Chains A and B, each alone.
Chain A
Amino acid sequence: MATATGIYHRTYSSELRLRSTRAELFRLGLMVVLLVVLPFVLDNYWLSIVNTILIAVIGAVGLNILVGYTGQISLGQGGFLAVGAYSSALLSERMGMPVPLAIAFAVVFTAVIGTFFGLPGLRLKGLYLAIATLASQQIIEFIIRRWGWLTEGRGYITLDRLNVLGWTLPRESFEQSWYWILLVLAAIAVMAARNLFRTGLGRSFMAVRDQDIAAEAIGINLTRAKLTAFAVSSGFVGLAGALTAHYTETVTWEAFTLNVSIMYLAMIIVGGLGSIAGAVYGAVFMSLLPVLIRELADVVGPAAPWLSAQLPAIQNAIFGLVIILFLIIEPRGLNRLWERAKEYIRFWPFRY
């Protein structure tokens, strides 16, 4: 494969393929093997971290559709996650709806709410939109905190263990079962998003991002494109929120603050704006970072006791630093770093 000078398509079907070289297929195979083996080698603690990563992947992919591909910045991610989580929890617990149906309704409902908060995006751009979505985050946060009806005055909702059409998730293999469910859903989400940008609709999103006036001039309905982007993105986010609710089995407002919005924005920026793979890398990286810092603190803990006392502050400081450094040094994120590494190997010993 090192001798290949480029990829030449001879048929339309080969051009439509997502992966065209043997190396890419090989890496995909490796990835599949790794994902299948994972639940058998990890203990419950690490598997629970992998599960939260899988949920974060769905959310980050959704956010990247809006921010990275359509260029509409959103600080309201935490609020939309909350809409998904609360609506799914209420539908399944309070109204006794089957869980898959409740999740589906939550996705649709979050998409509707997202579209509503996307309305300012029709008139506002960049900075103004960021501030408008910040306000939507604060307003949703206020509603879920103060509206007693949502939680029947307790401040939180508890959910039963996942029950799909009479099959209750077994307690002893809780994490393993969730792993397979989340893996399938995350894979579907990633593939759906990847393919979305090969359709006319996805291309119109990118045209809006690159130059909205030019996009309108070539016949893209800006209103429709922007609102659809908000709807599709919020749908993904609603799915992530609903899954969080059913996976953690509790819903409280603390899980959906502005910090969560920032965390997700950090994921897609560190991973790479405007790339589905980047959203996945970013979700993995930003979810693992605090865990690894904690592990590190445990290892050096006895030698430096102040370290574990300062852990939350240190984690936040590293978070901030990672965001700043990525933006300054490699604004296109981990995805670009990975591409550069691949190119370096491919062209070695030449520079280019």
Chain B
Amino acid sequence: MSTFLNLLVYGLADGAILALAALGFVLIYKATSVINFAQGEFLLVGAYMFYTAFVMMGLPLIAAVAVGVVVATILGVVVERFILRPMIGEDPISIIMVTIGLSMLLNALVQMFYGTSVKSQPAILPRGSVDFLGATVPLNRLLVILIAAVVLTAFTIFFRRSRHGIAMRAVADDQQAAMTMGISVRRIFALAWVLAAVSALIAGVLLADISAVDQNLAAFGLLVFPVVILGGLDSVPGTIVGGLTIGLLKQFVSGYLDPGLATVIPYVVLVLILLVKPYGIFGETRIERV
């Protein structure tokens, strides 16, 4: 029972972070129909920026987060303006490839400035553990779940209530109609990239806190694909369901069966979903038969 609870909490924590990372991915896909292969590198850059501000510059936590957000915003705007905007109207292969190129570039830049060694960062979240139904559950995982839940709720409210959120949904729904209503599609595109970079920053910092600040953060980003395919490429609630499902599945397979198998099981799920229900659980079904 205690193993089960532990795996449950670990899985939910992983899933919550995955949901955050996937949120950025879905935002970009929804608003700009770009598949962003560099989402994992956004996590990486976010975590390293936070590390720079928090550890290397010795800023207090709040200031370090602010620095991270500013850098993520700049990164989002620059990437949208100089890399993705010239690619508007190109075929999907080119757009996928340009984000792959971007991911290689970001990864290499991080490696150039910080090297490949693991950086030690003082724990932000408390390290203790609590007894819960007879199991010892680490406190920081529980807090990760909580923080991710708060951030995801905040994003959901933003989409439902705020002007910009509604404008983003309008652009996602129909670009031309949104334009005629006076919405600046360019600004919304930039906003989508900024929000993606910021949510990746949060995910990256949380992930770095429960694991370590190193290059493996980017590899975690590839898991975004099973998550979004499961939940539906253009669905915000889908990222939560997909993220939690994949996070739990990974932890349970690794705990009960084989840790090696856990690395590949998300992709097996991905293939099965693509064969059975390619638009995912919550994805919008576009009728395009081949």
Q: Which of A87-95, A125-133, A153-161 sits within the interface?
A: A125-133
Q: State whether B87 touches A328 (Cβ < 8 A).
A: yes
- Please indicate the chain B residues that have their CB under 8 angstroms from the CB of A120 in the complex: 271, 274-275
Q: State whether A320 touches B267 (Cβ < 8 A).
A: no
* Binary contact track B252-290/A, C-beta < 8 Å → 1, others 0: 000000001001100110110011001000000000101
State the Cβ distance, B154 to closest chain A Cβ, in Å.
28
Q: State whether A320 touches B111 (Cβ < 8 A).
A: no
Q: Which of A42-50, A101-109, A135-143, A281-289 sits within the interface?
A: A135-143
- Please indicate the chain B residues that have their CB under 8 angstroms from the CB of A134 in the complex: 222, 225, 267
Q: State whether B97 touches A323 (Cβ < 8 A).
A: yes
* Binary contact track A115-128/B, C-beta < 8 Å → 1, others 0: 00000101111111
Q: Is A321 engaged at the interface, CB distance under 8 Å to the other chain?
A: yes
Q: A317-B104, A317-B109, A331-B90 are in contact. List 7 more A-B contacts (CB 8 A).
A: A125-B288, A126-B92, A139-B271, A313-B108, A323-B104, A324-B98, A324-B101
| B contact residues, total (Cβ < 8 Å) | 41
Bound complex: CA of A331 vs CA of B86, how far in Å? 11
Q: State whether B105 touches A131 (Cβ < 8 A).
A: no
Task: Name the residue of chain B whose CB is nearest to the CB of A143.
Answer: B264
Assuming the contacts A126-B92, A324-B102, asked whether A138 and B264 have C-beta atoms less than 8 A apart, the reply is yes
Q: Is B229 engaged at the interface, CB distance under 8 Å to the other chain?
A: yes
- Please indicate the chain A residues that have their CB under 8 angstroms from the CB of B225 in the complex: 131, 134-135
Q: Is B1 engaged at the interface, CB distance under 8 Å to the other chain?
A: no
Identify which of B96, B105, B222 contacts A324 (C-beta below 8 A): B105
Q: State whether A132 touches B271 (Cβ < 8 A).
A: yes
* Binary contact track A264-289/B, C-beta < 8 Å → 1, others 0: 01100100010000000000000000
Task: Name the residue of chain B whose CB is nearest to the CB of A306.
Answer: B112
Bound complex: CA of A322 vs CA of B233, how far in Å? 29
| A contact residues, total (Cβ < 8 Å) | 45
Task: Name the residue of chain B whose CB is nearest to the CB of A132.
Answer: B274
State the Cβ distance, A265 to closest chain B Cβ, in Å.
6
Q: Is B107 engaged at the interface, CB distance under 8 Å to the other chain?
A: yes
Q: State whether A138 touches B102 (Cβ < 8 A).
A: no
Count contacts between A and B, CB distance < 8 Å: 132
Task: Name the residue of chain B whose CB is nearest to the CB of A315.
Answer: B108
Assuming the contacts A142-B264, A312-B111, asked whether A131 and B270 have C-beta atoms less than 8 A apart, the reply is yes
The 8 closest A-B pairs by CB, nearest first: A320-B105, A323-B101, A320-B104, A317-B108, A316-B108, A126-B92, A142-B264, A313-B111
Q: Is A240 engaged at the interface, CB distance under 8 Å to the other chain?
A: no
Q: Is B35 engaged at the interface, CB distance under 8 Å to the other chain?
A: yes
Q: State whether B105 touches A269 (Cβ < 8 A).
A: no
Q: Is B5 engaged at the interface, CB distance under 8 Å to the other chain?
A: no
- Please indicate the chain B residues that have their CB under 8 angstroms from the CB of A138 in the complex: 222, 264, 267
- Please indicate the chain A residues that have their CB under 8 angstroms from the CB of B263 in the complex: 142
Task: Name the residue of chain B whose CB is nearest to the CB of A327.
Answer: B98
* Binary contact track B78-112/A, C-beta < 8 Å → 1, others 0: 00000100110011111011101111111111011
Q: Is A169 engaged at the interface, CB distance under 8 Å to the other chain?
A: no
Identify which of B100, B260, B274 contacts A124 (C-beta below 8 A): B274
- Please indicate the chain A residues that have their CB under 8 angstroms from the CB of B98 in the complex: 323-324, 327-328
Q: Which of A125-183 contact B (CB under 8 A)?
A: 125-128, 130-132, 134-136, 138-139, 142, 145-146
- Please indicate the chain B residues that have their CB under 8 angstroms from the CB of A125 in the complex: 288, 290
Q: State whether A321 touches B260 (Cβ < 8 A).
A: no
Task: Name the residue of chain A whose CB is nearest to the CB of B271.
Answer: A135
Q: State whether B264 touches A139 (Cβ < 8 A).
A: yes
